[in-house]
């Protein structure tokens, strides 16, 4: 289906060309049965399939028809330009529905005869209840391209800037898409599977809870991860799964084992050890994985390598085996308790943890027991230095080593914690059940924003780059943030980082931004500065507000030009804090929360300057800027000899906007060459809105030309 009325038909084996009877552009098709299909397209064209041939329907409109849905053989809905909705009822004729909007409608979905959703420009969503169409609050002003509804209480709509909104039967709310690319289509074959596609080959997948972050290349459970550099991480898991990070992507490695791998450690980019069931140890040499002889048949749960000549692996029955650069041999641990994790801060300090609060300490020669001050099962341990180690366990317990003793930390969670990593004494991450992540800043533990509901089993941190792994092949990337004077409610979640983003510094100012228009003058703004790189990532930004937010509130980025701000809105909250959220953040500068998007008229910055060319001819250069062009069609420039005189239009045709229908501003200029010497001129700009009304700038005067 497409240009020139092309319709292709699949018979279960091959595709063949149908005779459509039209050369019009066909944009969508719906088939409620094998003997009824409806295809729609340009100029109001509708073609109908009866199981044998295509014939023409009288749509009753010449408007472009962009989408069609048929929940039954006696009811179809098609939507299009200028808010047009046509309805096929009783299987006989098409009639007009009152959509209640003039917005361009791009798609429609009908999970039943009494529920349809139509989406379009400016965040428009219209809902059919079996009798009438009414407005839904989408929470966005972004163009919506497509909609899919597997059930009456589950719909997904996608659009510009990676926007995804979700319907739960009562309201639309924001989903985090983890992409800023334009999404054109969405399909949901089940409630726990949707696929959205868009620009640059983008495909994002919904699993019933979240849209995917990193693509791991596997759905196997991942239990451990280690990073030797920002361009080498190794994650391991069930069935001998090993996936490798190269700084940009995860790809599958051949592990040469089918045993479950529970832990991995990397002393360098060409030296890693992974351990697992039945004494399995496999070794990475920078090119491939090969089997080591462990000299044990006990399950090995964790491994640590302080150098290429010292590794310790721990497991069932108190097993500890040691690597000396050539071979693995057994250590005497002094316990028969199950050991889950091990960490080595140096060749003379390692800590192993396990059942019943067991903690063992290696001094370079022997293992001895530490007093842990807990009887809980300890799952993981990390050591940033010889006087800072952290071990984690059930019900959110974290116990800390200060070089002499172990004492309890307040973690802020009661969820089980399975893994911990410390890249420095001021940065540790602990992960656990239901996607729990808590972060240590050198003094306290705080809770990170939930990114996935999947259980997280392992985490690794190299400087400020962290990777967490878990159920369903989940892999998360985390970036360290330095927050200065930040109000409660602020949140910045980074996804899809290629690894070059090493840190983010955020500073809040209790004043208006010097270039803020009226709607952004709310007494607060933020500067966000990235370290390492300025691209190659996307994220979600939530700003706390000094006002009560609503569906018009926005999160805006200063473009660095005049009073031009890039604004968008994907959700808001009034409990527990007043906040506004925006997804698809791909660059940083200055940010502010606004009561609404700046209007074009409020941000029209008109200037005029006279100039004499080398040829002696005079010219007036007129410039203006817009803050956004969501509801702007174009401009007309007028000139008069007196401020209150008769203004004449200078442009023959409407000066079109650069970003029609988008919350993005632009700069414009026009040269008035028909000017005389020693004479003042007055200019004003007419802003033509999508509803046909006009907004006017102030009048500006150009001094007499010399």
CB 116 within 8 A of CB 128: yes
Q: How far apart are the C-alpha atoms of 458 and 463, rounded to whole Å? A: 17
Closest CA to 492 of 593, 432, 582: 582
pLDDT tens-digit readout, 414-455:
889 988 988 888 888 898 888 888 888 888 998 876 656 678
The dihedral sign for the CA sequence 206, 210, 214, 216? negative
What is the Cα–Cα distance from 461 to 484, expressed in whole angstroms? 23
How far, in Å, CA of 685 to CA of 624, rounded? 9
Superfamily of domain 222-479, CATH level 4: YVTN repeat-like/Quinoprotein amine dehydrogenase (2.130.10.10)
Compute the distance between CA of residue 379 and CA of residue 391 in angstroms, rounded to an integer: 7
Domain-wise residue ranges, the chain: 3-206, 222-479, 482-594, 607-702
What secondary structure letter does DSSP report for 35? T
Pairing of strands 525-531, 590-594: antiparallel
* Beta-ladder partners of 119: 107, 125
Residue 602 has a pLDDT of 44
Quote the CATH superfamily of domain 607-702: Immunoglobulins (2.60.40.10)
Band (pLDDT 50/70/90 cuts) for residue 657 is: confident
* Cβ atoms within 10 Å of 1's Cβ, excluding its own: 18
Model confidence band, residue 214 (pLDDT cutoffs 50, 70, 90): very low
Split at pLDDT 50, 70, 90, the class of 124 is: very high
Edge-first strand listing for the sheet containing 310-315: 300-307, 310-315, 320-323, 328-330
Contact by Cβ (8 Å): 455, 222: no
Which segment of 122-126, 385-389, 550-554 scores lowest on mean pLDDT? 550-554
Task: Give the pLDDT score at 219.
Answer: 61
Q: What is the CA radius of gyration of the chain?
A: 31
Using 50, 70 and 90 to split pLDDT, how confident is the model at 181? low
In the structure encoding, which two tokens stand for residue 321, read together?
């085996």
Break the chain down into helix, strand, coil percent, rounded to 5.
5, 50, 40
3-state secondary structure of 4: helix
pLDDT tens-digit series, residues 310-346 = 899 989 899 999 999 999 999 999 999 999 999 888 8
Containing 459, the helix (H) or strand (E) segment is strand 456-462
Q: What local confidence, expressed as pLDDT, does residue 546 receive?
A: 93
Q: CB count, 10 Å around CB of 614? A: 5
Cβ-based neighbours of 149, under 8 Å, separated by 6 or more = 109, 110, 111, 115, 117, 155, 156, 167, 188
Tokens of 627: 């803050």
Q: What is the mean pLDDT of the chain?
A: 81
Q: Which tokens go with 463?
A: 């400087």
User: Which residues, including other chains, have CB under 8 Å from residue 32's CB and lie 6 or more apart?
Assistant: 70, 71, 72, 73, 76
CA distance 332 to 325: 19
Residue 357 phi/psi, 5-degree rounding, is: 75, 15
Give the residues across from 461 on adjacent strands.
466
- β-pairing, 172-175 vs 427-432, is unpaired
Length of the chain: 706
pLDDT classification of 488: cutoffs 50, 70, 90? confident
Q: Is the pLDDT of residue 563 over 70?
A: no
Contacts of 365 (CB under 8 A, 6+ apart): none
Q: Do domains 3-206 and 222-479 have the same CATH topology?
A: yes
- pLDDT at position 491 is 77
| Beta carbons of 280 and 315 less than 8 angstroms apart | no
* pTM across the whole model: 0.44
pLDDT digits (tens, 9 = 90+) for 183-212: 677 766 667 656 665 554 455 566 676 665
Residue 469: closest CA among 448, 450, 455, 449: 455
Burial of 550 (0-12, 13-18, 19+ CB in 10 A): middle
Per residue in 689-706, pLDDT (tens digit) is: 776 767 778 788 887 665
Is the peptide bond prior to 576 cis by the omega test (within 30 degrees of 0)? Answer: yes
Task: Give the integer Cα–Cα distance in Å for 654 and 685.
Answer: 12
Q: Are 364 and 348 in contact (CB under 8 A)?
A: yes
Residues 465-476, buried b or exposed e (16+ Cβ, 10 A)? bbbbbbbbbbbb
Distance CA 480, CA 550 (A): 31
Among 581, 577, 567, which residue's Cα sits nearest to residue 520?
567
Note the pLDDT of residue 465: 63
At 345-370, the pLDDT tens digits run 888 889 999 998 999 998 989 999 99
Q: Give the span between the Cα atoms of 77 and 265, in whole angstroms.
A: 58
Superfamily for the 3-206 domain: YVTN repeat-like/Quinoprotein amine dehydrogenase (2.130.10.10)
């Amino acid at each position: 289906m497409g240009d020139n009325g092309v319709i292709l038909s699949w018979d279960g084996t091959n595709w063949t060309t149908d005779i459509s009877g039209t050369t019009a552009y066909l944009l969508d098709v719906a088939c409620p049965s094998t003997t009824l299909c409806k295809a729609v397209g340009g100029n109001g064209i509708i073609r109908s399939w009866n199981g044998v041939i295509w014939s023409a329907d009288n749509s009753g409109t010449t408007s472009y028809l962009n989408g069609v849905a048929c929940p039954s053989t006696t009811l179809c809905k098609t939507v299009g330009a200028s808010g047009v909705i046509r309805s096929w009822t009783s299987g006989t004729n098409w009639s007009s529905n009152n959509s209640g909007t003039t917005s361009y409608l791009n798609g429609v979905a009908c999970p039943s005869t009494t529920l349809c959703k139509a989406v379009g420009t400016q965040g428009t969503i219209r809902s059919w209840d079996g009798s009438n169409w009414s407005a839904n609050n989408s929470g966005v002003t972004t163009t919506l391209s497509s909609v899919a509804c597997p059930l009456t209480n589950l719909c997904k709509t996608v659009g510009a800037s990676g926007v995804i909104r979700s319907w739960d039967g009562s309201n639309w709310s924001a989903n985090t898409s983890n992409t800023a690319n334009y999404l054109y289509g969405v399909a949901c074959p089940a409630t726990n599977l949707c696929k959205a596609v868009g620009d640059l080959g983008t495909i994002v997948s919904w699993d019933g809870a979240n849209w995917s972050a990193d693509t791991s290349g596997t759905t196997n459970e991942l239990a451990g991860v280690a990073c030797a550099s920002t361009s080498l991480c190794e994650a391991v898991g069930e069935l001998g799964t090993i996936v490798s990070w190269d700084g940009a992507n995860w790809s599958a490695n051949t592990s040469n084992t089918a045993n479950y791998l529970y832990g991995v450690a990397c002393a360098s980019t060409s030296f890693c050890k992974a351990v697992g069931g039945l004494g399995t140890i496999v070794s990475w040499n920078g090119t491939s994985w090969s089997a080591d002889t462990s000299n044990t048949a006990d399950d090995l749960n964790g491994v640590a390598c302080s150098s290429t000549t010292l590794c310790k692996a721990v497991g069932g029955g108190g097993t500890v085996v040691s690597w000396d650069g050539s071979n693995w041999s057994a250590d005497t641990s002094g316990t028969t308790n199950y050991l889950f994790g091990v960490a080595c801060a140096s060749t003379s300090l390692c800590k192993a943890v396990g059942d019943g609060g067991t903690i063992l300490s290696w001094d370079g020669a022997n293992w001895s027991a530490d007093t842990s001050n807990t009887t809980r099962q300890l799952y993981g341990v990390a050591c940033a230095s010889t006087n800072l180690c952290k071990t984690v366990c059930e019900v959110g317990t974290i116990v800390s080593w200060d070089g002499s003793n172990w004492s309890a930390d307040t973690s802020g969670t009661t969820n089980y914690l399975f893994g911990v990593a410390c890249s420095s004494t001021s940065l540790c991450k602990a992960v656990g059940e239901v996607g729990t992540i808590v972060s240590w800043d050198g003094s306290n533990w705080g809770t990170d924003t939930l990114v996935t509901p999947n259980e997280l089993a392992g985490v690794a941190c190299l400087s400020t780059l962290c990777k967490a792994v878990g159920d369903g092949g989940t892999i998360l990337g985390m970036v360290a943030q330095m927050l200065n004077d930040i109000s409660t409610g602020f949140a910045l979640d980074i996804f899809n980082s290629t690894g070059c983003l090493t840190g983010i510094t955020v500073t809040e100012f209790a004043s208006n931004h010097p270039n803020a228009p009226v709607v952004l003058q709310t007494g607060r703004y933020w500067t966000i500065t990235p370290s390492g790189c300025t691209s190659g990532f996307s994220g979600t930004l939530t700003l706390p507000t000094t006002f009560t937010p609503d569906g018009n509130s926005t999160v805006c980025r200063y473009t660095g030009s005049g009073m031009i701000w890039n604004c968008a809105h994907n959700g808001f909250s009034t409990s527990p804090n007043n906040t506004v959220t925006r997804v698809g953040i791909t660059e940083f500068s200055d940010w502010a929360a606004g009561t609404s998007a700046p209007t074009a008229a409020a941000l029209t910055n008109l200037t005029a300057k006279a100039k004499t060319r080398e040829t002696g001819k005079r010219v007036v250069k007129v410039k203006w800027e817009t803050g956004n062009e969501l509801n702007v069609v174009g401009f007309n420039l007028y000139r008069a000899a007196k401020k209150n005189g008769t203004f004449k239009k200078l442009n023959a045709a409407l000066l079109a906007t650069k970003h029609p229908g988008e919350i993005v501003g632009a700069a414009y200029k026009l040269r008035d060459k028909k000017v005389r010497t020693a004479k003042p001129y007055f200019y004003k700009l007419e802003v033509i809105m999508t509803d046909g009304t006009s907004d006017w700038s102030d009048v500006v005067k150009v001094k007499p030309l010399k």
